[in-house]
Amino acid sequence: MDATFAPSGPLKGRLTPPADKSISHRAAMVGAMATEPVTVTNYLAAEDTLSTLRAMGTIGALPSREGSTVVIRGVGLRAPDAHGETIDVGNAGTLMRLLPGWLAGQEGRSFRFDGDASIRRRPVDRIAVPLRLMGANIEATDDRLPPFTVHGTQLQGITYELPVASAQVKSCVLLAGMMAHGDTTVIEPVPSRDHTERLLSRLGVPLWRTGDAITVGHVDELTVEDIRVPGDLSSAAFPIVAGVLVKGSRLLIEGVNVNWTRAGILNVLERMGAVVIGEREERVDGAVPGEEPIADLDVAHGPLRGTTVEAAEVPLVIDELPLVALLGCFAEGETVVRGAEELKHKESDRIATVVDGLRGLGAHIEATDDGFVVQGGTGIRGGTIHAHGDHRLAMLGAVAGLASREGVTVVGMEAAEVSYPGFGEHVARLQRA
């Protein structure tokens, strides 16, 4: 489906973004680990997270959904069984990389994973390496790609130093650590999203942080409380950036998760001179809190200046880096992103697709081995951009169109439904207000 986004007048009004995708995935998984029914409210009903609910059904749980409320009747921590059925992850990379951590500890049972054409290009070797060190048996296509099979074994706790900061790999190892004998410690090169740690901490799992190391202990069973999912800052970032770029705009984005490990885009916007006002969570060290902080954000258009995003900041802004590229087009001076090789392993190679896509719209942007460089101040002319099946690239094109001089046609706009159902309707509402 193609959609054209014309240059917009001021965007006005209030907007509540979709529920957090990352937390929705995790809430469904821990619900399936429980023995008593768990109610998850404000669950994201999007393609990726619905894949997670179906996957929980494949391994024996009974999820039922009415609107944004999901009730999950779980199988218990040590009783999932797919009975030979393939777990179809669809396009959900988070599901593909987290769930094997839990299932690797199911002795005597095997679980085959597969997904769509995009998923079959996304490597799983970075979870296979630590799981094998713990004693898991994993068979992957070409030893690194889906389809792959996890053969459950008795796991042993390890200390594992992540070669690249990744919340997905970290979460996979921590989930496996609950199943393992002894403690399991993950050492991060720089902090990444901590939603898994917060959720496990809230549920009473023995878990603690010492510096850059997170340790989890063995768990026999899991008692899961009801969970409410906050608004997704990664989704909210698209209307936020639209409000920053479109002249005369003033928006209130309500109920957003401002967890410091997710709020990197707010820090980048602040450095660039954008007007985004709202409470922020300061960096949390030591004990891992069990709750996610929520705030309202007041957004207004304003002039921008270029900035540099270094490698240490990348994990905190990884999903919003395409928007940083777009912001750089409108900022005075140069905007640089370094240390973002991880972008090559998303739904598309986001270095190549973002650079090629924005260049086709008139941006002065060049790819580097680990990021990109934008020469700003000229804005966006307009044209056509292909989503390549990538939800964030589709929404990037839409926001570019609103701020452009001639409008942008997005080829494959339906990809936005993966994480932001109703994105087009939200944009139209802000234009009408």
Q: Which residues are catalytic?
A: 319
3-state DSSP: the chain helix, strand, coil percent, rounded to 5? 35, 25, 40
76, 192, 294, 301: CA torsion to nearest 10: -140
Identity of residue 93: G
What does each C-alpha distance from 425 to 242, 319, 386, 433 come to in angstroms? 14, 22, 20, 12
Residue 18 is classified by DSSP as: P
Token output for 234: 């990664």
Identity of residue 196: T
Residue 8 is classified by DSSP as: -
Token output for 186: 């993950």
What does each C-alpha distance from 285 to 43, 164, 282, 291 come to in angstroms? 28, 20, 10, 14
Rg from Cα positions in the chain: 21
Residues 6+ away with beta carbon under 8 Å from 117? none
- 176 close to 131: Cβ distance less than 8 angstroms: yes
